[in-house]
Amino acid sequence: MFLLILLDAMMVATFHMIAPDHWLPITIISKKYGFSSAKKYSIDFSIAAIHGALSSAIAVAVLYVGLFFLKKFVQDITFAGLLLLIIIGVYFVVNGYIERNRSSIAGHASLAVSVLPDFAIIPLLLTGSKLSSQQIGVIIAAFITIGVATLLAVVATASLIADFALRR
């Protein structure tokens, strides 16, 4: 179960950080204000790390508070985690479909939105409620690391594409 949840956390981090609300603000702001590459990537790294850490901290709090109060219902917590995974998956698909044609996303770009925590990792940790603290720690470390690496790669790619497009 550990490896499955670890791989899921890595996939969630990857697909989550590909969302435009994470990479578009820094790409636009860095272009607009002429940030150096070092400044752009240090902000990018900071945003991704803070976002991942805050999201993970909330997920761990939910997990341990839930287990503390609901020790008898660990099976139910695992089921709830799986159910939340399905619901969040459906939400991402529906939301992606609805927002696919919105062209004004650049006008609403904000770095603050990129830092705010979200709850994508909560269902994974709830599903793994029987795992050891060390295993949970490895999952969180992988989630944050993959999220940071993905955001850096996506911002680099988006910046290259923007540079190419602006030269034409």
- The lowest-confidence range among 59-63, 85-89, 108-112, 136-140 is 108-112
pLDDT in tens, 99-123: 555 544 443 346 666 777 777 888 8
Nearest to 150 by CA among 53, 30, 58, 22: 22
More confident site: 146 or 68: 146
Note if the pTM is more than 0.85: no
In total, the chain counts a number of residues equal to 168
pLDDT, residue 88, reads: 65
Q: How many CB atoms lie within 10 A of CB 56?
A: 23
Q: Are the C-beta atoms of 16 and 147 separated by less than 8 Å?
A: yes
Model confidence at 31, pLDDT cuts 50, 70, 90, reads confident
Residue 78, pLDDT > 70, answer no
Most confident of 39-53, 85-99, 122-136: 39-53
DSSP 18-32: TSHHHHHHHHHHHHH
Copy the structure tokens of residue 5: 């949840």
**Beta strand segments in the chain, E:** none
Copy the structure tokens of residue 103: 């062209």
